[in-house]
């Protein structure tokens, strides 16, 4: 019955305790035996557990009894990282309320604010929850004041909890039942459901996690996806649970469930799409649909050239359950054959590269990540490029457009000067600056490429880790940019080319080759490293030669010693790519991020 259903998300800044609270609520509802609670319940992927972050949004259906009444609680754990903000927004669109978790020792942070805005856009009932009150430095009163001041939410009815010890969690669940509205929807209307997550299961194939708004989804029903226009039959239905989903024959109005269509890839299950009945479709598509769009691109190359097809297979497999990755073959004069691969953001890129190496046992070289540029050419045509080496020669370029983001930064006022300096240095434009107690909330437009280039680490170090940061893409703007090329031993290494602001080309070029000089190991011969713009060399460094052949000294000597030395050299080479005669290590391709 709809009136006994509560659909809610948990939103928070990273590390404020979303996943811990989710686990605690599951336990409180008796959905798992206590002895199964050893590990974090909601973060089920290996990498999630190791890194302590949530990558895929997970949902769980729970039963709860209050005052003799049975309730169904559908809990949606959302990923907190900015790369996955589209998933957060779809999760929230599926909810009727949100628990806003704030760490009692930290207070409001940039992602707290960004997520609250998404929750408000979706008209959710927001319950402020102050977590970690077990810690000695907890200051719930100050934190609640901040929430009222920074976000403008009334905090007279708030919950103080410790997700770790369980204090206050039962009262919080009661508050969920009392304050979060039950779903409204027309049980007799045609099927209307939102796909808010999809993933791939080795046994069941591609799965869609849905919220039903009107009507119901039944086993055997022919359904249509309204954006992709595909039609499929519902093979099975389940209620979600991180350990043991249960089968059902129908998902009713207001409910959440997993739809199994027997598909071999998630490509046709687009998050944000609307499911309806194929024969009796609804008139209204649920709005806000956006196809997953990669923002950051990098070249990924196997170190051993004969592993190209293995890499293609691995990317294909990963794409089955993560349709936000894109890839196409590219060849680099320097690195050989590989793939230009698109990601949602920097964390996503790191996770995918790590999974390729671990799960598929590949040794890879990744080039520095870059954004997409739009080029208006002098002949009036427009092209987009995902690789700096594709930039046309200057006389063919009318304007280069680069993607911008709106950045939200929250920083204690003592570091304000440092942060403003950093933002100016990164070509940021200030929109707004507000004081919240002793902290400052900054709203800037900034080129996305500057964010990709190590912005977050610099922000952390210049604020002793006290600043928090969130961003969202806001479209393309013209930039005064040019391409900087790097030559190693006289040859341009296409994989090292970067696009830089014209007025910084000289200093960037100098710093870049200084960094490369430190990273490229000495070889048997002298290696020149040059930075150039067009045909002009703007800076030059030299890696001195070792002067002697390493194996030469064992010449005629003990053969096992010689073999050992060669093995050692081989191991050292593992992350190196031979460019011409020069061995270049993986770090060199990322060096540009640190300058
Ligand atoms: P998420 O990133 O929001 O999902 O945060 P997690 O649930 O992963 O929690 C981040 C860290 O805070 C973990 O080390 C938790 O053990 C810890 N934590 C979460 N809730 C509490 C709490 O109530 N008290 C204390 N002391 N630590 C907590
Ligand atoms: Mg988490």
- Model pTM above 0.80: no
- Residues 130 and 16 placed together within one structural domain of the fold: yes
Beta-carbon count within 10 A of 65 CB: 11
CB 82 within 8 A of CB 471: yes
Whose CA is closest to atom 6 on ligand 1?
17
Same-domain status, 489 and 466: no
| Residue 237 beta carbon below 6 angstroms from any ligand 1 atom | no
Residue with token string 């206050």: 168
Residue range 15-21: mean pLDDT, rounded: 91
Whether the Cβ atoms of residue 549 and residue 562 lie closer than 8 Å to each other: no
Among positive and negative, which fits the CA dihedral 255, 257, 263, 267?
positive
- pLDDT at residue 291 is higher than 80: no
pLDDT of residue 547: 66
What length does the chain have?
Answer: 595
Quote the crossing angle between the two packed helices 110-121 and 140-151, to the nearest 10°: 50
Residue 160 in this model has a pLDDT that exceeds 80: yes
Pairing of strands 205-214, 256-260: antiparallel
Tokens at residue 214, please?
A: 């009107």
Q: Is 414 left (phi over 0), alpha (psi -120 to 50) or beta?
A: alpha
Q: Mark whether 475 and 487 lie in a shared domain.
A: no
What are the φ/ψ torsions at residue 395 (nearest 5 degrees)? -70, -10
Greatest pairwise CA separation for the chain in angstroms: 89
Which of the listed residues 11, 13, 15 should we mutate to test ligand 1's pocket, taking the one with most ligand atoms within 8 A of CB?
15
User: Does 410 have pLDDT greater than 90?
Assistant: yes
Q: Same domain, yes or no, for 133 and 74?
A: yes
Contact 17 CB / ligand 1 (< 6 Å): yes
Any idea what the CATH number is for the domain that residue 487 is in? Answer: 3.30.70.2570
The pLDDT score that the predictor gives to residue 201 is 77
**Best CA proximity match to 3, nearest among 122, 142, 180:** 180
pLDDT number for residue 351: 87
- The reply to whether 187 falls in a domain is no
Number of domains making up the chain: 5
| Same-domain check for residues 57 and 149 | yes
- Would strands 159-160 and 125-131 be described as parallel, antiparallel, or unpaired? parallel
314 within domain boundaries: yes
SS (H, E, C) 134-180: CCCCCCHHHHHHHHHHHHCCCCCCCEECCCCCCCCHHHHHHHHHHHC
- The residue range of the domain holding 388 is 373-479
Percentage of residues in the chain having pLDDT higher than 70: 89
Q: Helix 346-359 to helix 308-321 angle, to the nearest 10 degrees? A: 120
Residue 259, φ and ψ in degrees, nearest 5: -110, 130
Q: Are 523 and 581 in contact (CB under 8 A)?
A: yes
Q: Is residue 287 one of the residues assigned to a domain?
A: no
Q: Is the pLDDT of residue 50 over 50?
A: no
Final residue in a domain of this structure, among 224, 246, 277: 277
Judge whether 184 lies within some domain: no
DSSP state of 414: G
ipTM above 0.90, yes or no: yes
78 lines ligand 1 (CB under 6 A): no
- Contact 253/179 with Cβ under 8 angstroms? no
Distance 79 CA to ligand 2 centre (A): 6
């Amino acid at each position: 019955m709809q009136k006994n259903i509560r659909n809610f998300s948990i939103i928070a800044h990273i590390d404020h305790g979303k996943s811990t609270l989710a686990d605690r609520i599951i336990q409180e509802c008796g959905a798992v035996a206590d002895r199964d609670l050893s590990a974090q319940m909601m973060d089920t992927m290996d990498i999630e557990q190791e890194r302590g972050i949530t990558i895929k949004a997970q949902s769980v259906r729970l039963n709860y009894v209050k005052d003799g009444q049975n309730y169904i609680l559908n809990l949606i754990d959302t990923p907190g990282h900015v790369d996955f903000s589209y998933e957060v927004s779809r999760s929230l669109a599926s909810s009727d309320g949100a628990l806003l978790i704030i760490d009692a020792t930290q207070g409001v942070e940039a992602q707290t604010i960004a997520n609250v805005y998404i929750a408000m856009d979706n008209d959710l009932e927001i319950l402020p929850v102050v977590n970690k009150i077990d810690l000695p430095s907890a200051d719930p009163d100050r934190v609640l004041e901040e929430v009222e001041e920074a976000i403008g939410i009334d905090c007279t009815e708030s919950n103080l909890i410790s997700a770790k010890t369980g204090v206050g969690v039962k009262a919080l669940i009661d508050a969920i039942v009392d304050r979060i509205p039950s779903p409204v929807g027309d049980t007799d209307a045609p099927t209307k459901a939102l796909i808010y997550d999809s993933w791939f299961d080795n046994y069941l194939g591609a799965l869609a996690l849905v919220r039903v708004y009107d009507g119901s989804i039944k086993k055997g029903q022919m359904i249509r996806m309204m954006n992709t226009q595909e039609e499929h039959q519902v093979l099975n239905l389940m209620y979600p649970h991180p350990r043991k989903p249960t089968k059902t024959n129908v998902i009713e109005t207001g409910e959440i469930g997993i739809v199994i269509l027997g598909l071999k890839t998630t490509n046709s299950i687009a998050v944000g799409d609307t499911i309806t009945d194929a024969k009796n479709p609804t008139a209204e598509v649920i709005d806000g649909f956006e196809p997953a769009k990669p923002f950051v691109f990098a070249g990924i190359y196997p170190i051993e050239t004969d592993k190209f097809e293995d890499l293609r297979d691995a990317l294909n497999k990963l794409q089955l359950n993560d349709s936000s990755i894109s890839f196409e073959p590219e060849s680099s004069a320097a690195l050989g054959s590989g793939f230009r691969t698109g990601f949602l953001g920097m964390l996503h890129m790191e996770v995918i590269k790590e999974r390729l190496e671990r799960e598929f046992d590949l040794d890879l070289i990744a080039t520095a990540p870059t954004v997409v540029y739009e080029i208006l050419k002098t002949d009036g045509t427009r092209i987009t490029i995902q690789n700096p080496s594709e930039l046309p020669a200057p006389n063919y370029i009318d304007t280069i457009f680069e993607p911008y983001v709106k950045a939200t930064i929250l920083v204690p006022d003592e570091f304000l000067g440092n942060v403003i300096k950093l933002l100016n240095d990164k070509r940021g434009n200030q929109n707004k600056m507000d004081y919240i107690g002793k902290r400052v909330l900054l709203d800037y437009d900034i080129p996305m490429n500057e964010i990709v280039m190590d912005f977050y680490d610099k922000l952390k170090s210049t604020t002793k880790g006290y600043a928090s940061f969130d961003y969202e893409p806001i479209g393309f703007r013209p930039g005064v940019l040019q391409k900087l090329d790097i030559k190693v031993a006289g040859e341009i290494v296409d994989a090292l080319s970067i696009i830089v602001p014209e007025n910084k080309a000289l200093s960037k070029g100098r710093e870049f080759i200084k960094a490369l000089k430190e990273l490229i190991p000495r070889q048997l011969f002298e290696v020149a490293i040059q930075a150039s713009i067009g045909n002009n060399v703007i800076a030059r460094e030299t890696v001195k030669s070792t002067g002697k052949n390493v194996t030469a000294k064992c010449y005629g000597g003990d053969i096992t010693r010689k073999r050992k030395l060669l093995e050692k050299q081989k191991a050292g080479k593992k992350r190196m790519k031979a460019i011409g005669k020069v061995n270049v290590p993986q770090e060199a391709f990322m060096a540009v991020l640190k300058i």
